[in-house]
Amino acid sequence: MSPLASDSGVALIFDEGQEGRANRYVDAGASLDAFLPKALLRDDLPLPDNSELDVVRHFTRLSQRTFGIDLGFYPLGSCTMKYNPRINDAMANLPGFRDLHPYAPDELSQGALQVMYELERSLASLFGMAAFSLNPSAGAHAELAALLIAKKYFKDRGETHRDKVIVPDTAHGTNPASAAMCGFKVISIPSDARGRVSVDEIKKVLGPDTAVCMMTNPNTLGLFEDHVHEITAAVHAAGGLMYYDGANANALMGNARPGDMGFDLMHLNTHKTFTIPHGGGGAGHGPVGVAAHLIDYLPTPVVVAKQRSNGDASTAPSDRLTFTLDFDRPKSIGPMRSFWSNFAHAVRALAYIYANGAEGLKKVSALAVLNANYIRVNVRDVLTTPYDEICRHEFVASAQELKKETGVRALDIAKALLDRGFMAPTMYFPLIVPECLMIEPTETESKETLDVFIAALREIVATAKTDPQSILDAPKNTVVGRVDETRAARHPDLRWHPGKP
């Protein structure tokens, strides 16, 4: 019997099902036969036979067991968990977008292509790049796309000996992973005492084998890499390319542009910066951007606009254009995803950009920075803040001292926050900060929410000093208590399979 049955009191035999229990509102066999070739249909699919009601209850119960941005404060550093405005979903659900077939010809898809074109143009202008491809479906996917572009670019120049990718030690794990997956050798560069990547160390490893230097700015400590111009100049002088990891773009919209900092390649996590719902492995959206000399290498298809022959000068510029999907790009690395990738996310991102406008987006970043600093200055007397200066959209605190004094670690603080109704901050990342808590509030939270979070954090630290066991035993108020972290990490069992107890 499913474990859900025992804690809910509902006799739900979800995992095994009961033969003949499934509701047959639709004769699936007959209707599928009409659409799918017989060879693609299986009759041996061992799924549990459940009624629709059992299935609805199962998933509703699971949704109630989890925590989401619509339930409470979610300060998960580097993940930019901000409110997802419902207008974005309303736009993505417009029937003309929602029901459009991916094989529909360009002439019947003009509205959708215009959305992709206007999003691409907006991102290029906001981030100072020559062009973007909306094709990749997440940050890591876009990193891979960018490194494939770099690889092809060097191959075309006869520089296949460029096989090293430089990555600061504060980088997200996907940076070295993408580089290794692309066949590059990774060189990790230490940060200096100010939490910035060491320029001297980068200069030491530059040479004729340098392919790409990957940077996140602000970095994952929430600090602006203020030597970025010196680094881009040195890497370019060595013949390498600069890559900008835009996961932290929420800190700088309208205030600084990677293109102006000298980056040749970049990605955005529109599912973070541009309010697309994410988490739990859901569909993401990772546009990859390039400077002019790399445009030909972008993944296909790229949306291009042509002037309409009968264009009326009194209409909006985009109404005087026709849009096509260009697949004919001989130097392209090819598609990273089928069809138009996660098109609904492009609609959401553009809706967010147009709802805010240029000034609004600038304010978004300013408020994100203000909120992070507000929490930082209100907790720095109870938790160590190793880089004690004005941060950008996030900051890191360390529970190292508290651990020495009380045995309470960053992990325990995180669990205690769950008990108090908050999602935990990102923990133990970046790796260079011991007992790290990385806190990113985003601009969408009110001062009142920040105040109760600050009060909770202070109370947890105070309790750790008087009654550490109560923090070590947390969480007590959540549906699932403390789990075996090692087993969960080493032997994750995330798939349903027949007969699973």
Ligand X SMILES: Cc1ncc(COP(=O)(O)O)c(C=O)c1O
Contact residues toward ligand X (CB under 6 A) are 78-79, 138-140, 172, 174, 216, 220, 245, 247, 269, 284, 286
Minimal distance, residue 268 CB to ligand X, in Å: 9
Q: Please return the burial class of 13, using the count of CB atoms within 10 Å of its CB with bins 0-12, 13-18 and 19+.
A: middle
Minimal distance, residue 423 CB to ligand X, in Å: 14
Distance CA 165, CA 90 (A): 42
Q: CB of 269 within 8 A of CB of 240?
A: no
The three-state (H, E, C) secondary structure of 299-337, written as one string:
CCCEEEEEECCCCCCCCCHHHHEEEEEECCCCCCCCCCC
The torsion angles phi and psi of 384, rounded to 5 degrees, stand at -70, 135
Using the minimum distance from each CB to ligand X, give the nearer residue, 54 or 443. 443
Minimal distance, residue 321 CB to ligand X, in Å: 31
How many CB atoms are closer than 10 A to CB 366? 15
Using the minimum distance from each CB to ligand X, give the nearer residue, 219 or 232. 219
Using the minimum distance from each CB to ligand X, give the nearer residue, 2 or 174. 174
The three-state (H, E, C) secondary structure of 250-279, written as one string:
HHCCCCCCHHHHCCCEEEECHHHHCCCCCC
Minimal distance, residue 220 CB to ligand X, in Å: 6
β-sheet with 436-439: strand ranges across = 395-398, 436-439, 426-427
Minimal distance, residue 116 CB to ligand X, in Å: 19
Minimal distance, residue 428 CB to ligand X, in Å: 14
DSSP single-letter state for residue 399: -
Using the minimum distance from each CB to ligand X, give the nearer residue, 219 or 385. 219
Distance CA 66, CA 82 (A): 17
3-state class (DSSP) for residue 417: helix
Using the minimum distance from each CB to ligand X, give the nearer residue, 220 or 442. 220
3-state class (DSSP) for residue 476: coil
Report angle CA 131, 134, 136 to the nearest 5 degrees. Answer: 120
Distance CA 360, CA 198 (A): 34
What is the number of the residue whose Cβ is closest to ligand X?
A: 139
Q: Please return the burial class of 158, using the count of CB atoms within 10 Å of its CB with bins 0-12, 13-18 and 19+.
A: exposed
Minimal distance, residue 206 CB to ligand X, in Å: 23
Using the minimum distance from each CB to ligand X, give the nearer residue, 140 or 379. 140
DSSP single-letter state for residue 161: T
Q: How many residues make up the chain in this entry?
A: 501
Minimal distance, residue 238 CB to ligand X, in Å: 24
Using the minimum distance from each CB to ligand X, give the nearer residue, 74 or 117. 74
Minimal distance, residue 468 CB to ligand X, in Å: 31
Q: CB of 131 within 8 A of CB of 289?
A: yes
Using the minimum distance from each CB to ligand X, give the nearer residue, 140 or 202. 140
Q: CB of 265 within 8 A of CB of 146?
A: yes
Dihedral (CA of 288, 289, 294, 300) sign? positive
Using the minimum distance from each CB to ligand X, give the nearer residue, 112 or 349. 349
Amino acid letter, residue 463: T
Minimal distance, residue 470 CB to ligand X, in Å: 32
Using the minimum distance from each CB to ligand X, give the nearer residue, 247 or 305. 247
